[in-house]
Amino acid sequence: MDFLADFRPTSIHPIPTTTISVDPPGGTNTHHPGGGGGGGGHLPLPTDTFPTPDLHYLHSTHTGQTALWIIFTLFTIGLVGVLFLTLRTEKRNRFFHGASALVLTIAMLSYLAMATGLGISYIPIHNHGVKGSLHHFVRQLYWARYVDWLFTTPLLLLSLASLAGLSPASTLAVILGDIFMIVTGLFSAITPSRWASGERATWAYFGISSFAFLLIWGILFINGLKAANYRPRNTKGLFTLLAAMTFALWTAYPIVFGLSEGANKISVDAEIIAYGILDVAAKLGFTYLLLFLHSHEENGPWTLPDWWVETPQGYGPDGRGTYGSLGSRGGDRD
Ligand code: RET
């Protein structure tokens, strides 16, 4: 798809020249008869006008903006569904519901921001294929999605790690690696790459981020599968299915990045739609598979303790709980 064709000039505009007359103090040619003493000769000097680069904005259109609103709506409906499922679930079994509701709320907000024009910047990119340096390209970067990913990807990984029964140390390593991956990915996206040095920096950050990506999935698969062996058969099966599906989906993110923010091969609209499909699958698909397929029979790292889900009881002076003790004093006054 050569969407740059619209922007590519058929010929480079010639640099205009003009002549100006100068009348410097002391004259321009003291040897010229009558020239001495100033005010006499006018010598035309050829000069270049200051070259002004043409700025080309690569931005989303009505298609991309409609896609953002559709995805926002999907996340909103998905969130309402999760809240409904939460109410129907015993409090101690609401760990995955809570994590999923948070993920969907953040996604909904980030799509609302992007659809209303927030969280967007223009980043200078290379102008490969366009001769002459007077054509500068800037491409819209929807950085709000990185803020979304910074919070949602750790929550998704936390759900996966808890399902496998991964140790807290490995879980922390996976989450920190993930944060590192998103932050260096953002660095890659915001590095201006009009010149070769900027492009090198963009791809260097991309490489660092991809390395973190492989590391976190290495830990998650190797340690996660080991830990999942101690879980009942169906929990291990669900972890294996979700981890494999999530890994496959997540590998598509750097590919979309490479084609859009990285090498500028696809339009901003195509980028919005591609990331949108991935986000819906990685968040809504993941959430609903997890909530519907996971059985509540079994206790595990996801089972919430009573002190977390119940109102504290029995702390009043008469041992009847905070509200009970207040109630009894109230009764005296009656
Ligand atoms: C970037 C670019 C740099 C290289 C890599 C990336 C990976 C991003 C991933 C994002 C996953 C997001 C999800 C969001 C919603 O649920 C930052 C694109 C490796 C894996 C799952």
Side-chain-side CA neighbours of residue 64 (13 Å): 19
Give the homologous superfamily in CATH for domain 54-295: Rhodopsin 7-helix transmembrane proteins (1.20.1070.10)
CA Rg, the chain, in Å? 31
CA 293 – ligand 1 centroid, Å: 25
Q: What was the pLDDT predicted at 292?
A: 92
The ranges of the chain with pLDDT < 70 are: 1-48, 129-132, 296-297, 313-334
Indicate the SS3 state at residue 124. Answer: strand
Give the residue whose CA is nearest to atom 2 of ligand 1.
185
**Ligand 1, pocket-test mutation among 160, 257, 280, most atoms within 8 A of CB:** 257
Question: d(Cα 190, Cα 80) in Å, to the nearest integer?
Answer: 34
For residues 239 and 245, what is the distance between their CA atoms, to the nearest angstrom?
A: 10
Q: Is the CB of 153 under 6 A from ligand 1?
A: yes
- How many Å lie between the centroid of ligand 1 and the Cα of residue 250? 6
Give residue 243 CA to ligand 1 midpoint distance, Å.
15
Other beta carbons within 10 Å of 35: 16
If we measure between CA atoms, which residue out of 151, 219, 207, 141 comes closest to residue 179? 151
Sign of CA dihedral 224, 227, 230, 231: negative
Structure tokens at 162: 């808890």
Reduced 3-state DSSP string for 135-171: EEEEEEEECHHHHHHHHHHHHHHHHHHHHHCCCHHHH
Q: Give 101 Cα–ligand 1 centroid separation in angstroms.
A: 20
Ligand 1 centroid distance, CA of 253 (Å): 5
For the Cβ of 188 lying below 6 angstroms from any atom of ligand 1, the answer is yes
pLDDT confidence of residue 222: 97
Q: Domains of the chain: which residue ranges?
A: 54-295
Distance CA 134, CA 151 (A): 40
How many angstroms separate the alpha carbon of residue 279 from the centre of ligand 1?
10
Pocket test for ligand 1, best of 253, 256, 259, 284 (most atoms within 8 A of CB): 253
Q: Which pTM value belongs to this model? A: 0.80
119 near 144, Cβ under 8 Å?
Answer: yes
Number of H helices, E strands in the chain: 10, 5
Residues 6+ apart with CB under 8 A from 44: 19, 20, 21
> What distance lies between CA 164 and its chain's CA centroid?
26
State the Cα angle at 113 between 66 and 153, rounded to 5°: 100
* pLDDT given for residue 332 in this prediction: 45
